[in-house]
Chains A and B, each alone.
Chain A
Amino acid sequence: MTQIVRNATRILRGVFIFRLFITLFGVAVFSIRWSPNIPLEALGVLSRIGLLPLLMSAAMLATMLFLFLPGLERRMVGLYLPVALAMSILTFSLESGVAYLRPGGHLLLTLPSGQTISLFWASTEMILMALIPCVLAGAAYGVRGAVRAATLASLLHLALGVLVWLYGVPLGIFLALLPLRLAVLYVFPFIAGYLADTWRREHAALQEANRQLRGYAATVEHLATSRERVRLARDMHDTLAHSLSAVVVQLEAVDALQETDLGAARQQLAKVQQQARVGLDEVRRAILNLRSAPVEELGLGGAIEQLVERFGQRNGILTDWAVEGEPVPLLPVQANALYRVAEEALSNVERHAEASRLTVCLHYADGVTLSVQDDGLGFDPEAVDPDRYGLVGIRERAALVDAQVTVDSAPDEGTTLTVRIVEPWED
């Protein structure tokens, strides 16, 4: 709304600059040469219609000052544009009256080159100028604004009609054109106002929908947080609280036994230690579940590197890890799938390969290729059950992200698994 009002004000200023330019152009042409066929009687007519041209000039000057005086818009805020529109309508209506009172409607100038120029605008053209503020009123204030502005323009036009009649000018043409002019003055601003109102209603509905959406999003977030809290509480109850209460009960038993049966007390103490370790493992697992996914946290390269490092520490196998080429961004689903494939492949090596060396590489060129190579027992890919070594899972996972899987293996010659995503794409 504010932006429309601001734009309407700018357009109005533009119209007056244009009008000023036309006037200056006319003055410049006058100063070059008066045409011999300039109807000098035109000047007589101007003097005969008396104060009207003076009024018009004063209205024009006042409107220009109003539109271009610095700081006025800021001070008048909401009143500024309506006043500016009303002054503009008045100015252009007075111009229309002056134009109407001149014989022939046009004041013609013949240039030294012989070309003829219309120096002042005709009455009808001035009505069209008055139409501009009416349309702007429709755009800025809707149908109501359009009707008010058009009514003001029509009343001023009728008043001018009465005025020129009082000056003795016949009203024939004026009355003949009146319905058309009034229709023009109402129809175009009404269309602009109607469209502006429709836009405003849709804008308001959109804002309301946005507000509701923000509300829903907040509710969903709140629900997700609550659900996570409940899950966390349940996890703590099922793991930590359960283990601690068992430890407490067992310690009480140790306390009771240590004076009567030291051997049984020691056995009980061993149980307590075992229980405490179980509890510790459960808490660690719960904490691990709460952490964000490794790929999200470390990136694909970092996450696989960590996987390989832990694999080496756990199994005492020599490990090599490399990233080749310039990494390209992958979709989270692709990066996670590659990470999980690496996880499954390493698990296979750990369980079946009996390898002494493992090489994992992430190679970026025409896509991205993950390769996991071991020097272990190997197998004949044609001969094994397709579901063995988790290969089906790896293939399914790869297929979901349009990746290609190759297994290169032979008995006693180790295994190389490669997974390639041909066209990585960004979000």
Chain B
Amino acid sequence: MIRLIVTADDELYNRLARRAEAEGDVPRRASDVLAGFKQVTTQPTDMIFVDMSLRAADTLLEALRNREETASVPLVAVIADGQLPFELRRLCAAVLEVETL
């Protein structure tokens, strides 16, 4: 399985990538929301981790859910402060808190 990790934070990417590899998946990175959106719509992706501290991360989640070809790809929101509005939380298959990684 290919896990796309959308984050500008190197440390966060490394942690999520190590975890993906340990679970037998292949990590791939996008450093901003537009790069992430492009990768998901042009390359096969099985799961998407979105760093919610990125600019426009909320719109990325909604845009991915809205597009037919990406609507069924599981989204995992990665948050730092334990707060994610309910309307975004309901779009995600899971919410990961950075401190639990």
Contact = CB atoms under 8 A, between A and B. Distances in A.
Interface of A: 224, 228, 234, 238, 289-290, 292-293, 296, 331-333, 336-337, 340, 390, 392-393, 396-397, 399-401
Contacts of B59: 333, 336-337, 340, 396-397, 400-401
A15 B58 CA distance: 64
Given A331-B66, A401-B63, A396 B32 contact: yes
What is the predominant secondary structure among interface residues of chain B facing chain A? helix
Closest 10 CB pairs of A and B: A393-B55, A333-B62, A397-B56, A293-B87, A396-B56, A400-B63, A333-B66, A397-B59, A400-B59, A337-B59
Contacts of A234: 82
A290 B62 CA distance: 18
A332 B56 contact: no
A397 B90 CA distance: 20
Interface string B10-25: 0000000000000000
A400 B33 contact: yes
Contacts of A331: 66
A331 to B, nearest CB: 6
Nearest to A331: B66
B87 A400 contact: no
Contacts of A340: 56, 58-59
A292 B89 CA distance: 12
Given A400-B37, A401-B59, A224 B90 contact: yes
A238 B63 CA distance: 32
B40 to A, nearest CB: 11
Contacts of B89: 228
Contacts of A337: 59, 62
A287 to B, nearest CB: 12
Interface in B78-101: 82-83, 85-87, 89-90
A396 B55 contact: yes
A238 B33 CA distance: 31
Given A396-B55, A400-B34, A336 B62 contact: yes
Contacts of A393: 55-56
A221 to B, nearest CB: 10
Interface residues of B, number: 20
Contacts of B82: 234, 238
B8 to A, nearest CB: 11
B10 to A, nearest CB: 18
A289 B83 contact: yes
Contacts of B37: 400
B60 interface: yes
Contacts of A333: 59, 62-63, 65-66
A290 B90 CA distance: 12
A332 B62 contact: yes
Given A238-B82, A333-B63, A400-B37, 19 more contacts: A224-B90, A228-B86, A228-B89, A289-B86, A292-B87, A293-B85, A293-B87, A332-B62, A332-B66, A340-B58, A390-B55, A393-B56, A396-B32, A396-B34, A396-B56, A397-B55, A399-B34, A400-B33, A400-B34
B14 to A, nearest CB: 24
Contacts of B62: 332-333, 336-337
A85 to B, nearest CB: 47
Contacts of B66: 331-333
A296 B87 contact: yes
Nearest to A390: B55
A255 B85 CA distance: 40
B33 A396 contact: yes
Most buried by A among B59, B63, B65, B82: B59
B100 to A, nearest CB: 13
A345 B83 CA distance: 23
A297 B3 CA distance: 34
A224 B85 CA distance: 14
A227 B16 CA distance: 23
B92 to A, nearest CB: 10
A292 B86 CA distance: 7
Interface string B37-60: 100000000000000000110111
Contacts of A224: 90
